[in-house]
Amino acid sequence: MYQTLYRKYRPQNFEQVVGQKVIVQTLKNAINNDSLNHAYLFTGPRGTGKTSIAKILAKTVNCLDLKDGIPCENCLSCKQIKDHQAIDILEIDAASNNGVDEIREIRNKVNLVPSTGKYKIYIVDEVHMLTTGAFNALLKTLEEPPNHIIFILATTEPHKIPATILSRCQRFDFKKISYEDMYPYLEKISKLENVKIEENALNEIVRLSDGCMRDALSILDQVIAFSSEEIKEEDVHEINGTIPQLELKNFIHSILEQDYKNAFELIDTFDKKGKSFIKLTEEIILFLRNILLLINVPDYFKTLNYDLDIYNDIAKQFDTKLVFQYLNNFNNIIPEMKKTNHARIIFEMALIEIIQTKNEKIDIKKVEIEDNIKPEEKTEPIREIPIKKENNISQKNVSFDTKLLKEIRVNNTLCNFNKNEFKIFKDRIDEIRSLIINPDYSEYASMVIDGDLRALGNENMIFVFSNERDSNQFNENIIKIDKMLKDYFDKTYKTIAVTKEEWETIKTEFNSKKRQYTYMEEPKIIDESKEEKDELEEMFGEIIEYL
């Protein structure tokens, strides 16, 4: 009977393990130094070797003729394990045996000594699936186990395991298998199987597996069965239901050129091939993300083993702002596509909208805030707050009277404060995080993310910082921050920052309702030239007297 590749080439000792050097070295040292722990927790993504290393550890500690940390494969214990007859190693699937009774049965048998080896080993896979009662039943055994017992718990979701269990285990976090480790391993297996495969095809298998060795071997297994001759990149995509990078490039090029005909012909082709439109959208998002990386961090992108010729060509037609527009448009339709049986229609509607608004701002689903607040009094024309420059320093270091501006903006925020609007917008402010990789906005986006939005009223908002330095830095850059928010949300916002101590005072005063907040018309902030300095200082004095 044919044996699948991931079973056929499952590592049999620590030397054969791929991509987990730190974990392997630690366990080997523990065995050599006779310092084994009574309970281990193996966590990490699927297909990274957790169960395989658990079995290797079990085989190694029970081998009767261990040499340099490698099981002999000939002793009674090794032969029993190889033939799946070992009674000292018990594998339990917690997904189907997750009740209290199953764990109690283990607890009743832990005092039985091993029959052939030195240790009796329990490997509990998907341990996070145990019920609360089962965890409680396991707890006492983990706390004070017999000397001949070793528990190896494996899971992909360690956050679901109670802290009382975690604290009694030695934890190992498995990482995804890197390209440098996976590619040569797959190449070696291909040669052992006498399979001819293109370099690009192997690269795609590694990329699509996303660090999961089991997925990589499964894809290789399928593509070997599918292709009768040399395996090509197209074969990998045909089996996996994905789209080749060149086809994605052609599709995105059609959008850029507003070529409806070619774009919809490609959609027909994808549909006839049975491609999932949700998966197609995810592939497009990944492709656009790569374009974004190539534009902004080319040195990093060149390390990712993508076809530079494909991306260099298409990236020349993009700028960062346009990539963000496309990314957001495609990302926004995924939830809708998952809720309908007509994913293609949703995809096509979004495509038409993207083509028609190629050079326009992305149509983000905004929170519409009613602007029904009117100033109670307007007795004076709008004045201007001058920026004081010294030695023509950059805008970033420009200073102005933040005390005056802070008083006005805090006042205007609180006189129009709306709790519901604040809660809605607070959930959206984290979207600014996407601008951190944009060189034009990264510094100001970081300031917004680091602050804590505490109040919003109409177009004014207050951010709170834990220390005065960060608060002052924010206020020194409010011109750029306000512009960034307007560019992103397509709405004017006026920001100000205060410290925690200032905010406590403001909040107490506001909640006491002892003060009436009246809208104050905010003077404009202008850039002062040396020639106008004296005149503007005089005007600024008048503003202070007026306010």
Mean pLDDT on 174-183:
89
Mean pLDDT on 334-358:
83
For tokens 């346009």, the residue is 322
532 pLDDT exceeds 50?
no
Which among 42, 43, 60 is positioned nearest to 121, based on CA atoms?
60
Question: CA 416 to CA 195: how far, in whole Å?
Answer: 71
Question: CA 199 to CA 543: how far, in whole Å?
Answer: 71
Q: Angle between the 320-338 and 277-296 helix axes, to the nearest 10 degrees?
A: 160
Q: What's the per-residue H, E or C state across 311-342?
A: HHHHHCCCCHHHHHHHHHHHHHHHHHHHCCCC
Banded pLDDT at 368 (limits 50, 70, 90): very low
Mean pLDDT on 456-485:
88
CB 174, CB 158: distance < 8 Å: no
For tokens 């001759």, the residue is 229
CB 107, CB 140: distance < 8 Å: yes
Banded pLDDT at 401 (limits 50, 70, 90): low
Higher pLDDT among residues 516 and 124, named by residue: 124
Banded pLDDT at 357 (limits 50, 70, 90): low
Mean pLDDT on 56-85:
85
Task: Tell me which of 157-166, 339-348, 368-377 is least confident.
Answer: 368-377
CB 170, CB 6: distance < 8 Å: no
Mean pLDDT on 44-73:
87
Mean pLDDT on 203-215:
87
Q: What is the pLDDT of residue 276?
A: 84
Q: What is the pLDDT of residue 34?
A: 85
Which among 71, 67, 69, 81 is positioned nearest to 114, based on CA atoms?
81
Amino acid type, 445: A
CB 495, CB 525: distance < 8 Å: no
Q: What is the pLDDT of residue 172?
A: 92
388 pLDDT exceeds 50?
no
Mean pLDDT on 82-104:
79
Higher pLDDT among residues 138 and 378, named by residue: 138
Q: What is the pLDDT of residue 507?
A: 85
Q: What is the pLDDT of residue 394?
A: 36
Q: What is the pLDDT of residue 235?
A: 85
Higher pLDDT among residues 368 and 406, named by residue: 406
Banded pLDDT at 541 (limits 50, 70, 90): low
Q: What is the pLDDT of residue 46?
A: 87
Question: CA 348 to CA 342: how far, in whole Å?
Answer: 10
Which residues, at least 6 apart from 64, have a Cβ–Cβ distance to it below 8 Å? 72, 75, 76, 77, 78, 116, 117
349 pLDDT exceeds 50?
yes
Banded pLDDT at 542 (limits 50, 70, 90): low
Mean pLDDT on 217-234:
85
Strand ranges in 409-517 using DSSP code E only, listed in sequence order: 452-457, 460-465, 494-499
Which among 17, 41, 67 is positioned nearest to 124, based on CA atoms?
41
Q: Considering Cα of 176, then 181, then 187, then 190, what sign does the dihedral take?
A: negative
468 pLDDT exceeds 70?
yes
Q: What is the pLDDT of residue 41?
A: 92
Q: What is the pLDDT of residue 358?
A: 54
380 pLDDT exceeds 50?
no
Per residue in 17-36, pLDDT tens? Answer: 888 889 999 998 888 888 88
Which among 372, 291, 294 is positioned nearest to 325, based on CA atoms?
291
The edge-to-edge listing of strands for the beta sheet with 89-93 is 89-93, 120-125, 149-155, 39-43, 170-173
| pTM of the complete model | 0.59
Question: CA 120 to CA 113: how far, in whole Å?
Answer: 7
Average pLDDT, the chain: 80
Banded pLDDT at 497 (limits 50, 70, 90): very high
The string of DSSP codes covering 204-215 is HHHHHHTT-HHH
Question: CA 430 to CA 147: how far, in whole Å?
Answer: 51
Q: What is the pLDDT of residue 526?
A: 53
CB 14, CB 60: distance < 8 Å: yes
Higher pLDDT among residues 362 and 423, named by residue: 423
* Ordered structural domains, the chain, with CATH: 5-173 (3.40.50.300), 179-240 (1.10.8.60), 245-356 (1.20.272.10), 384-546 (no CATH)
Which among 402, 420, 421, 419 is positioned nearest to 499, based on CA atoms?
402
Question: CA 405 to CA 522: how far, in whole Å?
Answer: 8
The edge-to-edge listing of strands for the beta sheet with 452-457 is 452-457, 460-465, 494-499
Q: What is the dihedral of CA 334, 284, 279, 250, to 10 degrees?
A: 130
Higher pLDDT among residues 69 and 248, named by residue: 248
Q: Could you tell me which residues are beta bridge partners of residue 465?
A: 499
Mean pLDDT on 357-364:
46
For tokens 């701002």, the residue is 361
Q: What is the pLDDT of residue 53?
A: 92
288 pLDDT exceeds 60?
yes
